[in-house]
């Protein structure tokens, strides 16, 4: 079969463009997140054992520890509250888990909620200044110096994990922990998996504070880590997995 | 030119009036210009870089540190003198300096409107306790 | 701008109107300073409903800005001569509307001093980045077209040839600004009320109804107040296009309602339930939604019958504009947040300072339109004498 030089060049040119376009499309779809399953050696994640939490019903030690460590303002007006970790009724967190005929003991308790540090986070995708982004170790970070307070990330988060500082938070902080900055009005904040403690080799504040050992924190990419072992032992739920966000927080019912 | 006297005289008065602050200051040395009165750290003799460098570059250094820590998670700083520090305003800088006796003195003196760092960043407890009378 | 002085000579009524607008702007500025000092806590926004009147009005006025295409396209692409007199009015309206949009975004920001971060740290994966680019580009396009054509008229020469190319560029650009704005919402997996492909077509349809409604009202006002006649033919054609667009918009809403209620997925139904029936005693938007629906039906009735369309045109326009401002400029945004991801039904009602700031921005738009139209009328009058 004879092929002219012109045709050969045209064919190879188009093939290269097509191959490049496929890669570009795939890369654009991927986002700022990496799936981290083959990439980085570390992907921080957490497994929350709801059964152990039910045993110490209403203890809230995790919330108090987080609030103290991070200077989270306690604002009286519910509309303007700022929370990084809080609890919610099981039925609200997993509205589509079949709960009608399950034992009340499992479905009437409260569930600890925080930022899920998704592997494919919608919030980092929409931030117009990259004030929030996904680190290589899986943590979805906030840069309070760059945030312009547009609240697009709040609209994008399917889990309601983010809070906005509607007012200056300092008056609502009883004791300021000098080791961690407060934030200013007009920026968005959320759980940061205590990245400042992880940098010092410590575990997140909620993990350390829990008297029941509810929070199992570790490297999801290490098959022998504590969370991975826990996930092998029991079936775990995630919040709204069908959205494709791939959360790093799992719940053992 | 009948007005020459007036013109030259007026000019002379003007020049004297214009330079009056300098004459008065010379005469009254007590009211003369002093630099800001800084409270130097008691526990360290050298900063992470020479004083001249710090005076000129500390804001640039802090902004670089900010981006290194927040955006790159890199907290390890190797100073020009070879020592290793943590990149932290609260822990490293305020480990030696105090805000009221050091930072604020120069800032107020030279009329620098400091950026809104202090709206979020804190002084460590020990520092605050020590400064309290 | 050599034609600016035309806006500085006017009747008593003109200056009184400008004074009223400046007072409203002053009140808005005062409330904004309050907001800068105390934070957005002075608005009715909350952790659950984090976008409200500011962003909703932004969305609505992007539509009004895009609607300039309704006069530009027929004139430049299809030589509909009747629109020759009013393309410039549409373009100036677009300029004013885009400036209002930028102001709405600005007052909504928690840290407005950092707004240039969007340019310093470009994030091409964020729709807000593209929205900024398309809106700025559209503002520039319309500013160039409007001022160049106006100056050409003022100097009584033909407009330069390249203006036609730029005007034609503004046509797909107008479509793009509102499509990008719709994508801002419809790309969010977590907000089931907005996650629908029909959102962009809905936005365009309502824009092409609300924009001409406003433009017709402005033309009628110019006829009465300034003796400037856009021509019955042009106004009539605009009214017909508005009628079609409104009909399509209502059809789209009905399509959404059918899909949601027939399929019966609770996650999707909840938002419509909140809007039209209320949930758990919270009926804050119910009266507004039914009012919007009533206005839409009444408007369509007036517009569909040709005799009524001619006789009651101003009423039809007011009904169309009000219906769509309520639906797109309030309900659409708030309902996206209610119920929240955890099922909370949080009421949202704009506070007085919030309303004052919104009124201030409306007044800025009105001021710009007044000044621009004064220039156009003065130049036209000179050219025709």
Are C60 and C210 within 8 A, CB to CB?
Answer: yes
Q: Do C341 and A157 touch (CB under 8 A)?
A: yes
Which pLDDT score is estimated for C1?
59
Task: Please indicate, yes or no, if residue A183 is contained in any of the structural domains.
Answer: yes
Nearest beta carbon to residue C51 from set A151, A163, A186: A151
The predicted complex's ipTM stands at 0.94
Over residues C333-341, mean pLDDT: 95
Task: Please indicate, yes or no, if residue A21 is contained in any of the structural domains.
Answer: no
Task: Tell me whether strands A215-219 and A44-49 are parallel, antiparallel or unpaired.
Answer: antiparallel
A246–chain C Cβ distance below 8 A for any pair: no
3-state SS, residue A71: coil
Over residues C214-222, mean pLDDT: 96
* Reported confidence tier of residue C8, pLDDT bands at 50, 70, 90: confident
Q: Do A155 and C40 touch (CB under 8 A)?
A: no
State yes or no: cis peptide before A52, omega within 30 of 0. no
Residues B79 and B121 in one domain: yes
Residue of B nearest to A182 (CA): B120
Q: How many other C-beta atoms are found inside a 10 Å radius of the C-beta of residue A173?
A: 17
Q: Which of A116, A129, A143 best probes binding to C when mutated, by most C CB atoms within 10 angstroms?
A: A129
Nearest beta carbon to residue C47 from set A80, A127, A156: A80
Residues B21 and B64 in one domain: no
Are C70 and C208 within 8 A, CB to CB?
Answer: yes
List CB contacts (< 8 A) between A156 and chain C.
188, 190
Residue of B nearest to A144 (CA): B70
List CB contacts (< 8 A) between A168 and chain B.
119
CA–CA separation, C39 and A186 (whole Å): 7
Q: Do A131 and C117 touch (CB under 8 A)?
A: yes
List CB contacts (< 8 A) between B120 and chain A.
144, 181-184
User: Tokens representing C328?
Assistant: 């797109």
Which pLDDT score is estimated for A111?
93
- Name residue B84's beta-bridge partners: B78
Domain that holds residue B56: 51-131
Task: Please indicate, yes or no, if residue A213 is contained in any of the structural domains.
Answer: yes
pLDDT tens for residues B54-106? 989 999 999 999 999 999 999 999 998 888 999 988 888 888 888 888 888 88
Task: Please indicate, yes or no, if residue B41 is contained in any of the structural domains.
Answer: no
Structural domains of chain C, ranges and CATH numbers in brackets: 4-384 (1.20.1630.10)
Are A227 and A46 within 8 A, CB to CB?
Answer: yes
Residues B80 and B25 in one domain: no
A185–chain C Cβ distance below 8 A for any pair: yes
Per mean pLDDT, which range of B13-27, C232-246, C338-352 is the poorest?
B13-27
Q: What angle do CA C327, C332, C336 make, to 5 degrees?
A: 160
Q: Which of C248, C243, C257 is nearest to C301 (CA)?
A: C243
Residues B109 and B62 in one domain: yes
Are A131 and A142 within 8 A, CB to CB?
Answer: yes
Task: Please indicate, yes or no, if residue B27 is contained in any of the structural domains.
Answer: yes
Task: Please indicate, yes or no, if residue A106 is contained in any of the structural domains.
Answer: yes
Nearest beta carbon to residue A181 from set B75, B120, B125: B120
Residues B126 and B71 in one domain: yes
Task: Please indicate, yes or no, if residue B40 is contained in any of the structural domains.
Answer: no
Percent of chain B at pLDDT > 90 equals 35
Q: Which of B75, B95, B120, B126 best probes binding to A when mutated, by most A CB atoms within 10 angstroms?
A: B120
DSSP H or E run through A11: helix A5-30
Q: Which of C113, C190, C199, C348 best probes binding to A when mutated, by most A CB atoms within 10 angstroms?
A: C190
Q: What angle do CA C81, C84, C87 make, to 5 degrees?
A: 135
Over residues A110-138, mean pLDDT: 96
Phi/psi for A223 (5° steps) reads: -65, -15
Per mean pLDDT, which range of A128-142, C1-15, C57-71, C223-237 is the poorest?
C1-15
Angle of helix C352-384 relative to helix C127-154, nearest 10 degrees, comes to 30
List CB contacts (< 8 A) between C181 and chain A.
none
Residue of A nearest to C192 (CA): A158
Q: Which of C95, C197, C100, C182 is nearest to C140 (CA)?
A: C95
User: Tokens representing A204?
Assistant: 């997140």
Structural domains counted in chain A: 1
CA–CA separation, C383 and B78 (whole Å): 73
Residues whose CB falls within 8 Å of the CB of residue A128, separated by 6 or more in sequence, listed in order: A148, A150, A152, C117, C118, C123, C126, C128, C129, C132
Nearest beta carbon to residue B119 from set A133, A178, A184: A184
- Reduced 3-state DSSP string for chain C: CCCHHHHHCCCHHHHHHHHHHHHHHHHHHHHHHHHHHHCHHHCCCCCCCCCCHHHHHHHHHHHHHHCCHHHHHHHHHHCCHHHHHCHHHHHHHHHHHHHHHHHHHHHHCCCHHHCCHHHHCCCCCCHHHHHHHHHHHHHHHHHHHHHHHHHHHHCCCCCCCHHHHHHHHHHHHHHHHHHHHHHHHHCCCCCCCCCCCCHHHHHHHHHHHHHHHHHHHHHHHHHHHHCCCCCHHHHHHHHHHHHHHHHHHHHHHHHHHHHHHHHCCHHHHHHHHHHHCCECCECCCHHHHHHHHHHHHHHHHHHHCHHHHHHCHHHHHHHHHHHHHHHHHHHHHHHHHCCCCCCCCCCCCCCHHHHHHHHHHHHHHHHHHHHHHHHHHHHHHHHHC
Q: What angle do CA A237, A238, A240 make, to 5 degrees?
A: 125
Which pLDDT score is estimated for A34?
40
A74–chain C Cβ distance below 8 A for any pair: no
Are C89 and C204 within 8 A, CB to CB?
Answer: no
Is residue C385 packed enough to be buried (19+ CB in 10 Å), middle (13-18) or exposed (0-12)?
Answer: exposed
Task: Tell me whether strands A249-252 and A44-49 are parallel, antiparallel or unpaired.
Answer: parallel
Pinpoint the alpha helices (H) of A59-204.
61-69, 90-93, 104-107, 122-126, 152-156, 195-198
Which pLDDT score is estimated for B127?
53
Q: Do C125 and A28 touch (CB under 8 A)?
A: yes
What distance in Å separates residue A158's CA from the closest CA in chain C? Answer: 4
pTM for this prediction: 0.89
Residue of A nearest to C344 (CA): A92
What distance in Å separates residue A66's CA from the closest CA in chain C? Answer: 19
List CB contacts (< 8 A) between C112 and chain A.
148-149
Which pLDDT score is estimated for B116?
80
Residues B76 and B119 in one domain: yes
CA–CA separation, C183 and C200 (whole Å): 7
First vs last Cα of chain B: how many Å apart? 70
How many beta-carbon contacts under 8 Å exist across A and B? 36
A167–chain C Cβ distance below 8 A for any pair: yes
Residue of C nearest to A156 (CA): C188
Specify the residue for token string 């092929």.
Answer: A3
Structural domains counted in chain B: 2
Nearest beta carbon to residue A183 from set B91, B120, B125: B120
Specify the residue for token string 């390890």.
Answer: B76
Residues B66 and B19 in one domain: no
Q: Do A143 and B70 touch (CB under 8 A)?
A: yes
Task: Please indicate, yes or no, if residue A58 is contained in any of the structural domains.
Answer: yes
* Reported confidence tier of residue A24, pLDDT bands at 50, 70, 90: low
CA–CA separation, B101 and A35 (whole Å): 50
Task: Please indicate, yes or no, if residue B37 is contained in any of the structural domains.
Answer: no
In this structure, what CATH number is given to the domain that contains residue A68?
A: 3.30.70.20
Domain that holds residue A138: 31-252
Residues B76 and B120 in one domain: yes
Residues whose CB falls within 8 Å of the CB of residue A160, separated by 6 or more in sequence, listed in order: C47, C48, C340, C341, C342
Between the CA of residue B52 and those of A102, B84, C125, C360, what are the distances in Å? Answer: 71, 20, 43, 51
Which pLDDT score is estimated for B131?
46
Phi/psi for A217 (5° steps) reads: -105, 140
Over residues C190-208, mean pLDDT: 96
Residues B80 and B125 in one domain: yes
List CB contacts (< 8 A) between C110 and chain A.
147-151, 164-165, 185-188
Residues B79 and B20 in one domain: no
Between the CA of residue C103 and those of C58, C108, C120, C181, what are the distances in Å? Answer: 8, 9, 20, 16
A123–chain C Cβ distance below 8 A for any pair: no
Task: Please indicate, yes or no, if residue A160 is contained in any of the structural domains.
Answer: yes
If one compares A176 and A23, the residue with the highest pLDDT of the two is A176
Are C382 and C154 within 8 A, CB to CB?
Answer: yes
* Reported confidence tier of residue A27, pLDDT bands at 50, 70, 90: low
pLDDT tens for residues C229-250? 999 999 999 999 999 999 999 9
Between the CA of residue A118 and those of A45, A124, C184, C217, what are the distances in Å? Answer: 9, 10, 20, 50
Task: Please indicate, yes or no, if residue A23 is contained in any of the structural domains.
Answer: no
Task: Please indicate, yes or no, if residue B45 is contained in any of the structural domains.
Answer: no
Q: Which of B100, C40, B128 is nearest to A169 (CA)?
A: C40
C114–chain A Cβ distance below 8 A for any pair: yes
C51–chain A Cβ distance below 8 A for any pair: yes
Phi/psi for A218 (5° steps) reads: 175, -165
Residues B22 and B72 in one domain: no
Task: Tell me whether strands A110-113 and A132-134 are parallel, antiparallel or unpaired.
Answer: unpaired
Task: Please indicate, yes or no, if residue B100 is contained in any of the structural domains.
Answer: yes
Over residues A185-194, mean pLDDT: 96
**Rg, C-alpha atoms of chain C:** 21
Q: Do B125 and A178 touch (CB under 8 A)?
A: yes
Concatenating the DSSP letter of every residue in B53-86 gives HHHHHHHHHHHHHHHHHHHH---EEE-TTS-EEE
Which pLDDT score is estimated for C371?
95
List CB contacts (< 8 A) between C132 and chain A.
128
Q: Do A128 and C115 touch (CB under 8 A)?
A: no
List CB contacts (< 8 A) between A42 and chain B.
none
Q: Which of A40, A143, A178 best probes binding to B when mutated, by most B CB atoms within 10 angstroms?
A: A178
**Rg, C-alpha atoms of chain A:** 22
Q: Do C346 and A95 touch (CB under 8 A)?
A: no
> With the CA atoms of A120, A124, A128 and A129 taken in that order, what torsion angle do they form, in degrees rounded to the nearest 10?
-130
Which pLDDT score is estimated for C115?
95
Q: Do B120 and A182 touch (CB under 8 A)?
A: yes
Are A115 and A85 within 8 A, CB to CB?
Answer: no
Residues B14 and B58 in one domain: no
List CB contacts (< 8 A) between A144 and chain B.
120
**Rg, C-alpha atoms of chain B:** 23
Q: Which of B60, C130, B57, C118 is nearest to A146 (CA)?
A: C118
Q: How many other C-beta atoms are found inside a 10 Å radius of the C-beta of residue A187?
A: 24
Nearest beta carbon to residue C111 from set A92, A122, A147: A147
* Reported confidence tier of residue C27, pLDDT bands at 50, 70, 90: very high
Residues whose CB falls within 8 Å of the CB of residue C195, separated by 6 or more in sequence, listed in order: C186, C188, C189
Chain mean pLDDT for chain B: 84
Residue of A nearest to B128 (CA): A178
If one compares C291 and A40, the residue with the highest pLDDT of the two is C291
Residue of B nearest to A142 (CA): B70
Q: Do C126 and A32 touch (CB under 8 A)?
A: no
List CB contacts (< 8 A) between A155 and chain C.
50-51, 185, 188, 191, 336-337
Residue B48, CB-side half-sphere exposure with 13 Å CA sphere: 23
Which pLDDT score is estimated for A26?
65
- Residues of B contacting chain A (CB within 8 angstroms): 66, 70-71, 73, 75, 90-91, 116, 119-125, 128
pLDDT above 70 for B30: no
Q: How many other C-beta atoms are found inside a 10 Å radius of the C-beta of residue A46?
A: 25
Over residues C137-159, mean pLDDT: 93
Task: Please indicate, yes or no, if residue A8 is contained in any of the structural domains.
Answer: no
Which pLDDT score is estimated for B126?
56
List CB contacts (< 8 A) between C190 and chain A.
122, 156-159, 240, 243
């Amino acid at each position: 079969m004879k092929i002219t030089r012109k045709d050969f060049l045209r064919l190879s040119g188009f093939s290269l463009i097509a191959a490049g376009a496929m890669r570009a499309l795939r890369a654009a779809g991927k986002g700022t997140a990496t799936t981290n399953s083959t990439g980085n050696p570390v992907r921080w994640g957490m497994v929350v054992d709801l059964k152990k939490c039910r045993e110490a019903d209403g203890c809230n030690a995790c919330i108090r520890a987080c609030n103290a460590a991070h200077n989270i303002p306690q604002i009286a007006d519910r509309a303007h509250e700022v929370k990084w970790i809080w609890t919610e009724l099981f039925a609200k967190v997993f509205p589509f888990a079949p709960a009608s005929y399950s034992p009340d003991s499992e479905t009437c308790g409260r569930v600890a909620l925080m930022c899920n540090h998704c592997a494919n986070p919608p919030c980092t995708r929409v931030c117009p200044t990259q004030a929030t982004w996904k680190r290589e170790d899986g943590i979805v970070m906030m840069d309070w110096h760059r945030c312009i307070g547009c609240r697009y990330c709040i609209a994008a988060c399917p889990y309601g994990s983010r809070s906005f500082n509607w007012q200056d938070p300092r008056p609502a902080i009883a004791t300021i922990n000098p080791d961690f900055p407060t934030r200013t009005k007009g920026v968005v904040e959320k759980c940061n998996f205590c990245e400042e403690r992880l940098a010092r080799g410590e575990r997140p504040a909620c993990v350390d504070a829990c008297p029941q050992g509810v929070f199992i924190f570790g490297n999801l990419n290490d098959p022998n880590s504590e969370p991975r072992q826990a996930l092998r032992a029991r079936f775990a739920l995630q919040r709204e997995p069908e959205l494709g966000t791939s959360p790093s927080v799992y719940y053992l019912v | 030119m009948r007005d020459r006297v007036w013109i030259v005289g007026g000019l002379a008065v003007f020049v004297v009036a214009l330079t009056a602050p300098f004459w008065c200051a010379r005469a009254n040395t007590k009211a003369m210009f002093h630099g800001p009165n800084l409270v130097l750290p008691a526990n360290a003799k050298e900063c992470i870089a020479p004083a001249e460098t710090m005076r000129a570059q500390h804001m640039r250094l802090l902004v670089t540190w900010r981006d290194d820590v927040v955006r790159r998670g890199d907290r390890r700083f190797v100073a020009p003198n070879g020592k290793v520090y943590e990149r932290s305003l609260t822990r490293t800088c305020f480990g030696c300096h105090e805000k009221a006796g050091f930072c604020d003195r120069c800032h107020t003196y030279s009329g620098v409107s400091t950026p809104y760092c202090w709206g979020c960043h804190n002084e460590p407890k020990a520092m605050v306790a020590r400064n309290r009378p | 701008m050599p034609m600016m002085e035309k806006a500085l000579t006017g009747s008593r009524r003109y200056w009184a109107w400008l004074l009223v607008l400046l007072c409203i702007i002053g009140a808005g500025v005062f409330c904004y300073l309050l907001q800068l000092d105390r934070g957005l806590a002075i608005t009715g926004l909350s952790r659950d409903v984090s976008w409200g009147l500011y962003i909703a009005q932004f969305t609505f006025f992007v539509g009004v800005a895009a609607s300039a295409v309704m006069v530009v396209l027929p004139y430049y692409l299809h030589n509909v001569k009747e629109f020759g007199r009013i393309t410039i009015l549409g373009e100036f309206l677009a300029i004013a509307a885009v400036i209002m949009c930028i102001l709405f975004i600005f007052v909504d920001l928690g840290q407005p001093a950092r707004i240039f971060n969007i340019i310093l740290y470009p994030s091409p994966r964020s729709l807000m980045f593209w929205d900024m680019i398309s809106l700025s580009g559209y503002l520039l396009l319309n500013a160039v077209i409007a001022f160049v054509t106006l100056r050409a008229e003022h100097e009584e020469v033909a407009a330069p040839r390249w203006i036609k190319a730029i005007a034609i560029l503004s046509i797909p650009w107008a479509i793009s600004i509102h499509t990008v704005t719709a994508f801002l919402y419809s790309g969010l997996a977590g907000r089931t009320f907005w996650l629908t492909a029909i959102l962009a077509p809905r936005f365009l349809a309502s824009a092409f109804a609300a924009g001409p409604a406003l433009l017709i009202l402005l033309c009628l006002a110019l006829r009465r107040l300034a003796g400037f006649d856009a021509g019955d033919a042009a106004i009539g054609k605009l009214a017909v296009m508005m009628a079609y667009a409104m009909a399509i918009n209502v059809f789209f809403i009905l399509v959404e309602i059918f899909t949601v209620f027939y399929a019966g997925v609770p996650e999707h139904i909840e938002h419509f339930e909140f809007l039209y029936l209320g949930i758990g005693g919270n009926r804050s938007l119910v009266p507004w939604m039914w009012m919007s629906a009533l206005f839409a039906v009444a408007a369509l009735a007036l517009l569909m019958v040709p005799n009524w369309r001619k006789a009651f045109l101003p009423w039809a326009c007011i009904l169309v504009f009000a219906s769509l401002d309520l639906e797109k400029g309030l309900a659409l945004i708030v309902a996206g947040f209610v119920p929240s991801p955890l099922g909370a039904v949080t009421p949202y009602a704009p506070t007085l300072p919030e309303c004052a700031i919104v009124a201030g921005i409306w007044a800025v738009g009105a001021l710009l339109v007044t000044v621009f139209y004064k220039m156009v009328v003065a130049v036209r009058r000179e050219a025709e004498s």
